[in-house]
């Protein structure tokens, strides 16, 4: 009886599988690769291919490892030699460039996305603060910078406005006795400077209360938080 043990050999790149250089820039820096065999441990890696930094194009570098019994494994890296990167990233806002935000509500920014034709997704930096407790105009700035140093900024204007007045109707009468022992309505507001009118109706109810010789206070209380 024979026991066959199959050796396993694997290779791994040092660095990225795709690297980009600007034409006529400093020479290509080889990052290399590693290989390891299950039984033999570390295995030498042969590198083939070259990069011409004076000519635009894609160049393939191949890394090959082989163990003592002939098992081999290969991986590749693509090196792109490109024109100088002078194109700045783009920024796309989530939501509108100018928005209204109701005073008193925590501001939650919609954010934005950055993209560069060479680098792909670009991480944005955000600056600016919205004081949602105070009416006014605030600016949020988003900045994107690619690996070549090209920068783009986009802003969003946030207008914090006082809450819009509302119209509603309350009925304070209890169904059992046709009136409540504490006819009280409370309207909660935030901030100051409100201009509104309150009308109390229902004279027929007041007349009935008088006929019963009862004193039922009707009070409207405006609370400013």
Name the segment(s) of the chain with CATH classification 2.60.40.10. Answer: 9-82, 90-161
pLDDT-based confidence at residue 2 (cuts at 50, 70, 90): very low
Question: Which of 173 and 145 is assigned the larger pLDDT?
Answer: 145
Q: Between these two residues, 38 and 156, which has the higher pLDDT value? A: 156
What distance in Å separates the CA atoms of residue 33 and residue 62, rounded to the nearest whole number? 10
Where residue 143 falls among pLDDT bands split at 50, 70, 90?
Answer: very high
Residue entry with tokens 């006819």:
183
| Per-residue pLDDT, 224 | 38
In 10 A of CB 32, how many CB atoms? 13
What CA–CA distance (Å, rounded) separates 14 from 214? 91
Pairing of strands 120-122, 136-145: unpaired
Task: Determine contact, residues 154/146, Cβ cutoff 8 Å.
Answer: no
DSSP symbols for 101-115? EETTSPP----EEEE
Six token digits for residue 152: 């783009």
169-208 per-position pLDDT tens digit: 555 554 544 445 555 555 555 555 555 555 555 444 443 3
Contact 153, 89 (CB under 8 A): no
Calculate the average pLDDT of the chain: 80
What CATH number does the domain located at 9-82 have? 2.60.40.10
Domain spanning 90-161: CATH superfamily: Immunoglobulins (2.60.40.10)
* pLDDT higher than threshold 70 for residue 27: yes
The Cβ of residue 219 has, within 10 Å, a number of other Cβ atoms equal to 10
Give pLDDT tens digits for 32-81: 999 999 888 999 999 999 999 999 999 999 999 999 888 899 999 999 99
């Amino acid at each position: 009886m024979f026991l066959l043990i199959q050796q396993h050999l694997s290779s791994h790149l040092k660095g990225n599988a795709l690297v980009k250089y600007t034409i006529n820039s400093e020479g290509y820096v080889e990052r290399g690769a590693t290989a390891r065999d299950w039984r033999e441990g570390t295995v030498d890696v042969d590198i083939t291919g070259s990069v011409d930094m004076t000519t635009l194009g894609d160049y393939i570098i191949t890394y090959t490892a082989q163990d003592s019994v002939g098992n081999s494994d290969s991986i590749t890296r693509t090196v792109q030699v490109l024109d100088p990167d002078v194109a700045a990233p783009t920024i796309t806002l989530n939501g509108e460039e100018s928005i209204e935000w109701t005073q008193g509500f925590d501001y939650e920014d919609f954010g934005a996305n950055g993209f560069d034709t060479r680098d792909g997704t670009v991480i944005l930096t955000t600056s600016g603060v919205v004081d949602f407790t105070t009416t006014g105009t605030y600016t949020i700035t988003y900045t994107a910078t690619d690996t070549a140093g090209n920068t783009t900024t986009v802003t969003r204007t946030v207008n914090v406005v006082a809450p819009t007045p509302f119209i509603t109707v309350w009925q304070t009468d209890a169904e059992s006795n046709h009136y409540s022992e504490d006819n009280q309505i409370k309207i909660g507001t935030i901030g100051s400077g409100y201009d509104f009118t309150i009308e109390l109706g229902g004279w027929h109810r007041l007349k009935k209360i008088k006929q019963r010789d009862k004193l039922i206070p009707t009070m409207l209380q405006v609370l400013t938080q």
